[in-house]
A and B are shown apart, each in its own frame.
Chain A
Amino acid sequence: MGKLETTLPKIVHEALQDEDYVTRDLVNVLLNQIYHGRNHARTSVAKTLDDEIEKLTDAGKIDIRNF
């Protein structure tokens, strides 16, 4: 509903143009969770982000040698 859906990627894109893939992905996951998700509870969001980071790690998107 509304223009936000089109405005949002523009703002996010502009703010995140220098960010890495993982951060961009996490921002999108978080915003989608708020925008579309039913459960905005903090613990639920934290769990979603935890899972996403794990997923990205498993997918090799994070260079674990840096950690």
Chain B
Amino acid sequence: MELKQITITNFLSYFDENEITFSPTTTIFIGQNKSGKSKLFDAINFVLYGRIFLTDEGENGEWITNEKEISAFILNNHRRNVALKAGDAVVNSSVELVIDNATSKLTITRTFNYKLSGNKYDFAFSDFSVTEINSLNGDLLSSDIGDAAKDKLRMYFPESIKNYFLFQGEAASKIMKLQKGGNFSLAVKEIARLGIFDEAKELASYYASNVNNRITRKTNKSAKQKEEQENLSAKIEQFENKVHEYAEKRDKAERNVSDYSAKLDDLNKEQETYKEFEENLTQRKQLEQNLRKVEQDLKLAENEQKSTIAEESIFYKVSKKIDSFKDFYSQLEAKGEVPPSIPASEIRKALKYCQCTICGTDLSEGTEARKFAEARLPKCDTDRLGDYLRDLNSTMSNISEDIKRVPENLQKLIEKKHELDERQRSLKKQKDEAMQMLSQIQGDDSDSKEKKDNIERLKHSVRNYTDLLDKAKSDKSANDALYNDYYRQLQNLKKQLNTMIIDDDDIDESDRIRHFYADKLEAAMSKINTLANKTAYEEVQQKSNEYYKEMTKENSALSGDIKIDLGTSEIYTVDEQGSRIRNINQGDRISIQLAVIAGILTVAQDQFEQQYPFVTDAPVSALGGDNKLSTIQTMINAFEQSIIIIKDDTSSKNKTNDELRKLIAESKNVGLAYELSMSEAEETSNQFTVVKKIKG
């Protein structure tokens, strides 16, 4: 990887187009303060990583990566002034870098576009492109813009190494944080491509835990299944017992049904033998009952006949007496012998008030009416008899109405008597017949009691066995239902158990094999990762020491060996006894940093089989005396291509500076050298960097 050429246009202190070619070996830029040295370094950072290093007045600084922030700084002031004066609508600030990558040539361009807005230029948008052409035939291999271009570029310039091949003295010191390792370990890891081992270790670890988890899951599942299986088996056993129990009960009930049916058949057959006897008995009983009924009816009929006739006879006799009384009363009435019905109290009251209380007749003294009333007064008791007679006559009249119907009733009674006589005759006939039949019916012989007892016994047995049979049938039905219910449930449980057995994937041999080798793989990958890291660090350490030794040859002030602590990634130097050198000055620090950076880049070159240029800005500004030259010499020797930007101290007439110019002039490895200065202009804002080639 070789930086061929950079074209800086209207970027920071660079006005218009500045085409600068790099040497395949070493290119040195010298310039006094504020001549555009750091702006050149910024241009390379800007085009490759989209960043600039912003320093404040105290010379502290920081990297800026935000486009908007960058846009506020990078447009060249002189260009802005010229464009404003000309009224240009659009103005650009850009950097183009050409890189030779053995078989292809990359052209990387980053442009910031500004548009006129009032009397100023506002940032509008940015462009980024990467074009790759075949170095041999000039064919276009690819042309990408935007994110695709960034991806393309990262294939060649990964983020991890940007601080190492683009080495900014101040910034690198901060990033490296020599005593703490800083990003160094990450850089070594990425440069040595240890990421592959990290990933492999992580994947092996994942695989081990994955296998372990699978087995744990299986074990848990298996334990759970076993428990479920055991529960199910216990339940099945329970149900099997139930099924067995109800099958037995059902069978027993069935046997009972059969036994009781047979017994009942026997009993019925035995009963058959008594059938004729029993029928005779029944018939006899019926006849006896009929006879009793007939006799009873006969008796009732006789009684009825007797009472009715007696009653009617009494009536007849009474009617004669009534008729006699009525005749007598009629005669008395005709004669006026029936006394009037006037009570003595009323007569006395009428006499007292001289007026009848009933009809109002005047009863004054001397009147006929009063005489009549006074005559009736002593006869008042007779008058009460009159009342009785009238009542009696009235009652007798009513009775006589009934009496009048007595002959008719008697006629009816006579007719009824004939009927009763007829019925009596019929009943007597029936009785005779029944008696006759009874005499003909057998069953009242000497052994009838025994037979009757037998029949009773049989009937009792039949009732018992019928009850037993009914119960046995009921039991059979109930037990059969329970049996079927339990049997069905049992089948379901068995089916469930069978399914469970099929699903059961207990830990098997293959699981154990996987578990064993997953653990071994994890341990092996961990070992490999450690070894790879160690190898990479050792390589870096070895290369760093090689460069450091070269520096110590040139500079007696530098001594010891560089050590890298693998645990903390800390970098330090040790003396010949292996003791850590504590007191190292700034110059030593820079030298150690450069040696380590050279080591890292060498390892990266070995690893990627790709050479990285070493671009550094003011790496030795903090150094003085021989340290500066020996360090520059190291850089020239260590890197295949280096671009070194150094402060020019000519004005101070410093001897060292003369030595630097001498080194530039004499060193065969320094292919090109440029001197940077600012143009003459009245206003500072119109000054710009002038690039002058001083070698090559």
Chain A positions near chain B (C-beta within 8 angstroms)? 1-4, 7-8, 11-12, 14-16, 19-20, 22-24, 26-27, 30-31, 34-35, 40, 42, 45-46, 49-50, 53-54, 57, 62, 64, 67
Contacts A34-B200, A67-B509; is A11 near B532 (CB within 8 Å)? yes
Minimal Cβ-Cβ distance residue in A for B210: A46
Contacts A15-B527, A26-B517; is A35 near B196 (CB within 8 Å)? yes
Instruction: Please tell me which one of the listed residues A23, A34, A62 contacts residue B203 in the complex, with CB atoms under 8 A apart.
Output: A34
CB pair A31–B196 under 8 Å, yes or no, is yes
Q: For the complex, what is the distance from the CA of A57 to the CA of B508, rounded to whole Å?
A: 13
Confirm or deny: B518 has a beta carbon within 8 angstroms of a beta carbon on chain A.
yes
Q: For the complex, what is the distance from the CA of A1 to the CA of B524, rounded to whole Å?
A: 25
CB pair B528–A1 under 8 Å, yes or no, is no
CB pair A57–B199 under 8 Å, yes or no, is no
Nearest 10 Cβ contacts at the A-B interface:
A67-B512, A15-B528, A23-B520, A15-B527, A26-B521, A15-B531, A2-B608, A45-B203, A67-B509, A42-B206
Q: For the complex, what is the distance from the CA of A64 to the CA of B508, rounded to whole Å?
A: 11
CB pair B521–A49 under 8 Å, yes or no, is yes
Q: For the complex, what is the distance from the CA of A57 to the CA of B208, rounded to whole Å?
A: 18
- A3: B residues at CB distance < 8 A: 606-609
Minimal Cβ-Cβ distance residue in A for B603: A3
- A53: B residues at CB distance < 8 A: 510, 513-514, 517
Confirm or deny: B286 has a beta carbon within 8 angstroms of a beta carbon on chain A.
no
- A4: B residues at CB distance < 8 A: 193, 196, 607
Say how far B278's CB is from chain A's closest CB, in angstroms: 90
CB pair A64–B521 under 8 Å, yes or no, is no
CB pair B193–A2 under 8 Å, yes or no, is yes
Minimal Cβ-Cβ distance residue in B for A27: B524
CB pair A42–B203 under 8 Å, yes or no, is yes
Minimal Cβ-Cβ distance residue in B for A24: B524
Confirm or deny: B535 has a beta carbon within 8 angstroms of a beta carbon on chain A.
yes
Instruction: Please tell me which one of the listed residues A2, A11, A22, A57 contacts residue B531 in the complex, with CB atoms under 8 A apart.
Output: A11
Q: For the complex, what is the distance from the CA of A12 to the CA of B527, rounded to whole Å?
A: 9
Q: For the complex, what is the distance from the CA of A20 to the CA of B535, rounded to whole Å?
A: 23
CB pair B196–A54 under 8 Å, yes or no, is no
- B196: A residues at CB distance < 8 A: 4, 8, 31, 34-35
- A23: B residues at CB distance < 8 A: 517, 520-521, 524
- A20: B residues at CB distance < 8 A: 520
Chain B positions near chain A (C-beta within 8 angstroms)? 193, 196, 199-200, 203-204, 206-207, 210-211, 509-510, 512-514, 516-518, 520-521, 524-525, 527-528, 531-532, 535, 606-610
Given contacts A19-B524, A53-B514, A67-B513, 12 further A-B contacts (CB under 8 A): A4-B196, A4-B607, A7-B535, A12-B528, A20-B520, A27-B528, A30-B203, A30-B525, A31-B196, A34-B200, A46-B206, A50-B514
11 contacts between A and B (CB under 8 A): A3-B607, A11-B535, A12-B528, A15-B531, A16-B528, A23-B521, A24-B524, A35-B196, A42-B203, A46-B207, A53-B513
Minimal Cβ-Cβ distance residue in A for B606: A3
Say how far A23's CB is from chain B's closest CB, in angstroms: 5
Q: For the complex, what is the distance from the CA of A31 to the CA of B608, rounded to whole Å?
A: 18
- B606: A residues at CB distance < 8 A: 3
- A26: B residues at CB distance < 8 A: 517, 520-521, 524
Q: For the complex, what is the distance from the CA of A64 to the CA of B512, rounded to whole Å?
A: 10
Q: For the complex, what is the distance from the CA of A60 to the CA of B509, rounded to whole Å?
A: 14
- B609: A residues at CB distance < 8 A: 1-3
Q: For the complex, what is the distance from the CA of A62 to the CA of B337, rounded to whole Å?
A: 160
Instruction: Please tell me which one of the listed residues A2, A24, A54 contacts residue B510 in the complex, with CB atoms under 8 A apart.
Output: A54
- B518: A residues at CB distance < 8 A: 49
Q: For the complex, what is the distance from the CA of A62 to the CA of B510, rounded to whole Å?
A: 10
Q: For the complex, what is the distance from the CA of A23 to the CA of B518, rounded to whole Å?
A: 9
Q: For the complex, what is the distance from the CA of A22 to the CA of B524, rounded to whole Å?
A: 11
- A42: B residues at CB distance < 8 A: 203, 206-207, 210
Contacts A2-B608, A15-B531; is A45 near B513 (CB within 8 Å)? no
Minimal Cβ-Cβ distance residue in A for B527: A15
Say how far B161's CB is from chain A's closest CB, in angstroms: 14
Say how far B611's CB is from chain A's closest CB, in angstroms: 13
Instruction: Please tell me which one of the listed residues B207, B513, B520 contacts residue A64 in the complex, with CB atoms under 8 A apart.
Output: B513
CB pair A34–B199 under 8 Å, yes or no, is yes
Minimal Cβ-Cβ distance residue in B for A62: B513
- B211: A residues at CB distance < 8 A: 46
Say how far A28's CB is from chain B's closest CB, in angstroms: 10
Q: For the complex, what is the distance from the CA of A7 to the CA of B528, rounded to whole Å?
A: 12
- A67: B residues at CB distance < 8 A: 509, 512-513, 516
CB pair B517–A31 under 8 Å, yes or no, is no
- B513: A residues at CB distance < 8 A: 53, 57, 62, 64, 67
- B520: A residues at CB distance < 8 A: 19-20, 22-23, 26
Q: For the complex, what is the distance from the CA of A30 to the CA of B512, rounded to whole Å?
A: 20
Q: For the complex, what is the distance from the CA of A64 to the CA of B517, rounded to whole Å?
A: 12
Q: For the complex, what is the distance from the CA of A42 to the CA of B606, rounded to whole Å?
A: 31
Say how far A46's CB is from chain B's closest CB, in angstroms: 5
- B206: A residues at CB distance < 8 A: 42, 45-46
- B608: A residues at CB distance < 8 A: 1-3
- A46: B residues at CB distance < 8 A: 206-207, 210-211
Q: For the complex, what is the distance from the CA of A2 to the CA of B610, rounded to whole Å?
A: 8
